[in-house]
Amino acid sequence: MINKNKLTNKNPYIKKAHQDYLDELLINKNKLKSIWISDKAIKALEDSRYNLTKFEIYKYIKSIEYLRSRGKFTINLNEGIELNQNKFRNVLIDLFYQDIPDEVILETPISSLFKFEHSKVEDPSIKIQPIEIKEVKDIKNNYDSYFGNYNTYYIFKSLIELYIDEIWLYHYKDNIYNEKELLNVYDKTTKLYKTYGSNWLTLSKLDKILIKLKYYLISVTDPEDININSLGELNLKFSLPKEKINYKFYSLPKNHLGSIKEYKLKDFWIKKEYKFN
């Protein structure tokens, strides 16, 4: 919990949010304000049944404001959450700040977190339905209803589509790479690299064979086995739309237009520590 406004969370998103929170309290005379949520609704969040700190209320408000600013008025950030104490303190809200423990994202099976498993059916035309598990062990028991159920998982994937809707990739020597991949293949003997290092944005402006391209997320799909795989194994598929780029201007081979690049959620997850004083 927050104590005397001191925060020792190394997550950069939380650190920035906490500083913005303190600045906002200073400006608004210790009150939380929102253009999308009424003062009455904000006051209701202070109800003891929710047991929220002021910073937790702020996190919820900003998550909602972001969704509303993107025109998402129907997404419910407490979908599938049964306990009052987790209505406004749960995995959907913390996803906005990537403030979910790494062992949850990278190690714990999806079905264990959201308390369901998929039926195994032979006929692929049969729609797979979630089956509730009565007893759920391991990490989820430490979070009560923090993860909700299958409906929460569905919203989780929808939010991923919103939060990681586009990424920058690079065309180099007839292949497409992200920055991490580029580091392994880029010619480090060139004068440009020796001058600018792995500053890919600058290099893409100076090196004619390095082209920066915007890929758009087109789908988020389940990993091979949600009873074994974690959220980090969610499949993210990106595309380079033909209509959004002039291949002559970029000197980009036509075969890359409409090309697909696939990554995992874990490729975008940052490493951090979670500890509140």
- Residue boundaries of the structural domains of the chain: 12-159, 166-268
The Cα–Cα gap between 159 and 41 comes to 23
- The CA distance from 191 to 203, in Å, is 11
pTM: 0.83
- Note down pLDDT in tens along the chain; length 277 residues: 333 345 556 788 999 999 999 999 999 999 999 999 999 999 999 999 999 999 999 999 999 999 999 999 999 999 999 999 899 999 999 999 999 888 889 988 999 899 876 655 444 444 445 544 444 444 445 566 899 999 999 999 999 999 999 999 999 998 899 999 999 999 999 999 999 999 999 999 999 899 898 899 999 999 999 999 999 999 999 998 765 555 444 555 556 666 889 999 999 887 554 333 3
Distance CA 7, CA 131 (A): 40
Instruction: Spell out where the chain has E strands.
Output: 116-118, 130-132, 166-172, 175-177, 210-221, 235-239, 260-264
Task: Give the pLDDT confidence score for residue 241 in this predicted structure.
Answer: 79
Residue 257 φ then ψ, to 5°: -70, 130
What is d(CA 266, CA 38) in angstroms, rounded to the nearest whole number? 36
pLDDT value at position 259?
A: 81
User: What phi and psi values does residue 258 have, to the nearest 5 degrees?
Assistant: 80, 10
Separation of alpha carbons 67 and 77, rounded Å: 10
